[in-house]
Structure 1
Amino acid sequence: MDEIEMDLENDLPFCKLSKDFPQVSFYRWCNSAIDYLEFYGNKEDLDSLEKYVPEIEKSLNTNSLYRSRSGGRLSVILSCRCNVSNSTIRKAEHHNLMWKAPVFYNGGHEKLSVISPRSEDFLGLFKDLEDVGKVRITKKIEVDPDLVRDIYSISLSDLFSDLTEKQLRYLVSAYHNGYFDVPKRTNIVELAKQFNISYSTLQEHLEKAVNKIMKGIEPYLTIALQMMGGKE
């Protein structure tokens, strides 16, 4: 079993976006339901990119579920419309490979890492990627199957597939406003005012969201506890 890291250049939507905004670096997470993008750059470049978001939606035939701007970061959540023809990670899945999140984009280049159980599967992916652009292997190492859970343990679908759009939006806002900090930088009443809802309604949404995420990570908490072997 191999872990293979590639540097890609192509005109698929996200790599093309990186070409159009070469000074902006961004990360991409995807679970076939949503694409979560984190963009980093200076104010002028992020201003231009934020105005370009409708064009991203148009090219992918999708829509934004959430957008947040903080300092040198722009976060965007899109309804996922990825398929084998427009997404390198869907191509990887099509060839029975696991891809490692996040995928990184900078200067028109895409860094994609995959776990390949069989060499013939990777060769199929490599050919498909060559058909749409340039491919360069930057790293290839053998991976012990017992370590795959550490490399590829928690998927976005495990964590977020059961969350509603409102729960996700409120949870992200609560986090960025310091509601989960110790000590807290805001309280539930102030947060609720931002959304023009009652604090009890917001509290219910946050509790449900946290409960769903805890259910998603519970198996990994159990594994971690067992691996600690009773250490205090």
Structure 2
Amino acid sequence: MSLYEASFRVKHECPYREISERYPDLTIREWYLNDCQVIEITAPGSPTEDLLEEIDELGTVLHESIDESGLHVVTQSCLCSLEDSIIERFESYNSLYQPPTIHRQGWEHYTVIAFDEGDVRDLLQDLEADRDIEVLSKTAITEQRIPHSMLAPVDQLFEAVTERQLAALRLALESGYYEQPRKTSLRELADRTSVARSTYEEHLRKAENKLLTNAGQFLRLVTATSTADPLDVEGRRRNEQPAD
């Protein structure tokens, strides 16, 4: 199975993009973390007072330094509503967003990975309908490992897992339930809670099911470029037999 990677840049209303347009030497990298954004801003040379004032208005400054290599600022800001956002559009076309978003010279740069070339094509056509977009590259990825820098959003992995299910999962994990051999049983785990064994097991199984379901797209991504099935024992045996 092949994967398809697309890199493109777009223009639409966004404070970070607008700052990068006014200050073309800036590079702004943006990450979404649960309910906030983390923005890393770098620029060569000494910043102007106007630029520093604009950066202060973006959110809480976590780190700031100015040295011989230039300006370095890390800022945390409130997460603007993602409703009808470009990230949601990626998801609607089964495309996996690769953070960070990079703002440079008035453009927002994005990279996505999809399992179907048609999804990438449809996504780009959708974006072209209401914003300026330039496609930088479209590449089929085959027979190579997915880079470790591709991180799975934690909130997406635990989406729809309730607090009780999370508590049941954490108790099982910390008590050695998933070790081999197991260090505890479901009954022993339930005895440490205020619920019946059947109720505890229900919380645990639902947590496991939701976690694996949410992780499914990342599992597919990691295994998509494998050329052989490691569980196909018979196939390996056939390949190892000497030719007649």
TM-score after normalising by structure 2: 0.52
What is the CA deviation profile of residues 97-122 of structure 1, one whole-angstrom value per residue up to 9, with x for unaligned ones? 11111221111022211001223322
> 5+ residue gaps in structure 1?
57-63, 160-222, 224-232
Instruction: Please tell me whether the aligned partners of residues 84 and 94 of structure 1 are also in contact (alpha carbons under 8 angstroms).
Output: no
1:39 aligned onto 2:34? no
Which residue identity does 1:83 align to in structure 2?
L
Match of 1:203 in 2: none
Larger Rg: 2
**What code does the residue aligned with 1:128 have?**
D
Partner residue in 2 for 1:51: 53
What is the deviation of 1:19?
A: 1.8
Deviation string for 1:36-59 (max 9, x for gaps)? 1111123324x4233124654xxx
Pair 1:145–1:90, CA change in 2 (3 A): farther
Aligned to 1:118: 116
Gaps of 5+ in 2: 158-221, 223-244
Counterparts of 1:70 and 1:156, CA distance in 2: 29
Q: How many residues align?
A: 152
Structure 2 CA distance for partners of 1:81 and 1:51, relative to 1, 3 Å: same
Q: Deviations over 1:156-177 (max 9, x none)?
A: 6589xxxxxxxxxxxxxxxxxx
Task: Show the counterpart of 1:81.
Answer: 80
Structure 1 residue aligned with 2:88 = 90
Q: Indicate if the aligned counterparts of 2:4 and 2:120 stay in contact, CA closer than 8 A.
A: no
Pick from 52, 59, 68 the counterpart of residue 63 of structure 2: 68
Give the direction of change, closer, same or farther, for the CA distance of 1:123–1:12 in structure 2 (3 Å limit): farther
Change beyond 3 A, Cα 1:28–1:140: same
CA RMSD of aligned residues (A): 3.1
Change (3 A) 1:43 1:149: closer
| 2:103 aligned counterpart, secondary structure | strand
Shift of the 107–156 alpha-carbon distance from structure 1 to 2, 3 Å rule, reads farther
| 2:29 paired residue among 8, 27, 30 | 27
- In structure 2, do the counterparts of structure 1 residues 151 and 39 end up closer, same or farther at CA, with 3 Å as the change threshold? closer
Q: Amino acid of the residue matched to residue 155 of structure 1? A: P
Which of these residues, 9, 12, 29, is aligned with residue 10 of structure 1? 12
The 8 Å contact of residues 7 and 137 in structure 1, kept in 2 or not, is answered as yes
Would you tell me which structure has more helix in proportion to its own residues? 1
Partner Cα separation in structure 1 for residue 88 and residue 24 of structure 2: 24
- The residue that corresponds to 1:135 in the other structure is 133
Which AA in structure 1 matches 2:126?
D
Q: Percent identity?
A: 17
